[in-house]
Structure 1
Amino acid sequence: MSSTVDNARTKAKEVAVEDFNKAKALAQSAAKSGAYLYPIKGIFYFLSHRSLWKPLLSKLVPTMTVSVGVIAFMFFFTYLPQLAILVFVNGPIAAFTTVLLTLSESSTIINLISRTFLIQDALVDTFDGVLVARHQTEVLAEGRQLKSGNFNDPIAKLGKLVKSPFEKFTPKALIRYVMYLPLNFIPVVGTVIFVLLQGKSRGNSVHTRYFQLKKWSNSQREEWLKEHTAPYTSFGTVATLLELVPFASIFFSFTNTVGAALWAADIEGNNTSMTELQNPKSQDEVKKAA
């Protein structure tokens, strides 16, 4: 009997060590890529480039109306019932975790409504506008007509869409979100895991437009995302946390889109190599390596 227990403990330690090493490797990969910084870079880039404000300003009134309505509804009708449940498992921090949960739910609903009905085209214009500003018109030409002439305004240079833009909020994403909700019943750790899982899902969608412009197949996209799980998860986690901010989620949806486009422009400028973002090689070096 004792030998069985000892074997179980040994196996448990081995699994724990293995999981820790995997988590450590993922964290190192995320840190090396610097992907988690792009949502922050997106904020500063957006604020310093007034021409990129046009798509947001054109949708500001309807999206703010939706945001205020959804957040008010969720806190009025769902906060107390969820608090009554979470207080049994989270104790004194239940008020805080319930706020996070309600904001997360509100953000999901707002994104579902706004991305499906209100800001889809505006986000695409923002993403494409950043690529123009970063002189990545060659890859952009695969999915959009560009007006001839010199434009100081990258949004003004955008012509008719050749290809359909971002994927809309999918039923699969909503189902996955509902499946992960019970994690919030686990004090602190459960909420952290929930946000990370949401970040992974969010990260997998930030470059849908870029992959489309690159004409990548589904298998190519999946392979790329699998190979770079940590960077995309780190980007998605920071983006998710920003979009939880009450009444500012739509603003951060646009700045996160800017960050994703900046990241895509850097990847494209570095010969589509994720690991070279910190120390980009010149084209001559890339050719020699090939």
Structure 2
Amino acid sequence: MPDHLKDAVIAEANSVREASQDVLMSGAYLYPFKGIFYFATHKGLWGPFMSRAGRTISLGMGVTTAMFFFTYVPQMAVMAFTSGPLAAISAALLMLSESSTITNLVSRSFFVEDALIDTFDGTLIAREQEPLVAQGRQVKPRSSGRDAVARLGKVFTRPFARLKPQALLRSLIFLPLNLIPVVGTLLYIAVQGKRVGPELHARYFQLKGWDARQREEWVKKNRGAYTGLGISAFALEMVPFASIAFSFTNTVGAALWAADIEKATQ
């Protein structure tokens, strides 16, 4: 492993370790799982996901096919030194995780941006947070038979940026950690989770009207909670062939936490 990667991994691992107690005490790591249950039991939130399912599945199949064609054999050769006779299976599992990560990064930036915004805002509406959502978009009045997503109107501003080269580069730089059985994968999830946690609340920060300084101060104050949220969310999105579905349930979970924060401060 290159020295610069070792230094980066050690620094990130130490940061996560220092925040480990806060991670456990916050309980924020449970919200991605709460999001799964809430999404499954609220059909009104399914629309945005269903409208993007076809394109994202096609993207996932294309990325997975390309990854296996171009990189499976080289990675299996490397895994032979760490996994021995199980190298073929370990490499296949690694390829699926890598493909899920890449698919999720690309789809979130180009295919599901609007759908994730609608899912986040719709969850807030369902949790009685209309005034907060109204800071970022039109909210239609209640009417018989109209679900939370159907009440969403025109969006004023959009917080989700297109694919940032540094985000993709960061993910690719740390991907080799997965070549280390178990421990390497856990480190990879921890490193990426620290980044993902605050990103899941990008919409919340925008609806609050916070500037960069306010966001940084809030995240710093709640670093353990956001790290826990990110670790759980990223681990779920590594599940082969289900990463896109989990990106929606993670969005629901993040919105549930935002709603709970709002209720606690009212």
Q: What TM-score, normalized to structure 1?
A: 0.80
Instruction: Please report how far the alpha carbon of residue 105 of structure 1 lies from its aligned counterpart in structure 2 after TM superposition.
Output: 2.2
Instruction: Please report how far the alpha carbon of residue 195 of structure 1 lies from its aligned counterpart in structure 2 after TM superposition.
Output: 1.5
Instruction: Please report how far the alpha carbon of residue 117 of structure 1 lies from its aligned counterpart in structure 2 after TM superposition.
Output: 2.1
Does residue 181 of structure 1 match 2:175? yes
Q: Secondary structure at the residue paired with 1:204?
A: helix
Does residue 84 of structure 1 match 2:56? no
- For 1:164-175, what aligned pairs fall within 5 Å after superposition? 164-175=158-169
Aligned-residue identity in percent? 54
- For 1:254-265, what aligned pairs fall within 5 Å after superposition? 254-265=248-259
- Equivalents in 2 of 1:119, 1:96: separation in Å? 31
Q: Secondary structure at the residue paired with 1:145?
A: strand
Give the structure 2 partner of residue 190 of structure 1.
184
Shifted more, 203-212 versus 86-95: the winner is 86-95
Instruction: Please report how far the alpha carbon of residue 22 of structure 1 lies from its aligned counterpart in structure 2 after TM superposition.
Output: 7.8
Instruction: Please report how far the alpha carbon of residue 95 of structure 1 lies from its aligned counterpart in structure 2 after TM superposition.
Output: 4.5
Post-superposition Cα deviations, 1:52-111, rounded to whole Å, max 9, x if no partner, equal 000011111111111122122212332221111132244456455534532332123212
- Equivalents in 2 of 1:20, 1:66: separation in Å? 35
Say which structure, 1 or 2, has more relative contact order (CA 8 Å, 6+ apart): 2
- The total of aligned residue pairs comes to 253
Contact 1:121 1:165 in 2 (8 A): no
Rg comparison, structure with higher value: 1
- Equivalents in 2 of 1:49, 1:31: separation in Å? 28
Contact 2:177 2:188 in 1 (8 A): yes
Instruction: Please report how far the alpha carbon of residue 20 of structure 1 lies from its aligned counterpart in structure 2 after TM superposition.
Output: 8.2
Give the structure 1 partner of residue 57 of structure 2.
64
Instruction: Please report how far the alpha carbon of residue 142 of structure 1 lies from its aligned counterpart in structure 2 after TM superposition.
Output: 0.8
Gaps of at least 5 residues in structure 1 are 1-18, 272-282, 284-290
Contact 1:97 1:188 in 2 (8 A): no
Residues 236 and 99 of structure 1: CA distance in aligned 2, closer, same or farther (over 3 Å): farther
Which one of the candidate residues 189, 201, 214 is aligned to 1:220? Answer: 214
Contact 1:129 1:155 in 2 (8 A): yes
Shifted more, 185-194 versus 34-43: the winner is 185-194
Shifted more, 111-120 versus 54-63: the winner is 111-120
Instruction: Please report how far the alpha carbon of residue 190 of structure 1 lies from its aligned counterpart in structure 2 after TM superposition.
Output: 2.3
Instruction: Please report how far the alpha carbon of residue 181 of structure 1 lies from its aligned counterpart in structure 2 after TM superposition.
Output: 2.5
Instruction: Please report how far the alpha carbon of residue 26 of structure 1 lies from its aligned counterpart in structure 2 after TM superposition.
Output: 2.1
Residues 224 and 91 of structure 1: CA distance in aligned 2, closer, same or farther (over 3 Å): farther
Residues 20 and 67 of structure 1: CA distance in aligned 2, closer, same or farther (over 3 Å): closer
Which one of the candidate residues 228, 236, 243 is aligned to 2:230? Answer: 236
Q: Secondary structure at the residue paired with 1:200?
A: helix
Which one of the candidate residues 22, 31, 34 is aligned to 1:29? Answer: 22
- For 1:71-220, what aligned pairs fall within 5 Å after superposition? 71-91=64-84, 94-95=87-88, 97-150=90-143, 152-220=146-214
Does residue 269 of structure 1 match 2:238? no
Q: What TM-score, normalized to structure 2?
A: 0.87
Gaps of at least 5 residues in structure 2 are 1-12
Post-superposition Cα deviations, 1:152-179, rounded to whole Å, max 9, x if no partner, equal 4001100000112323331111121122
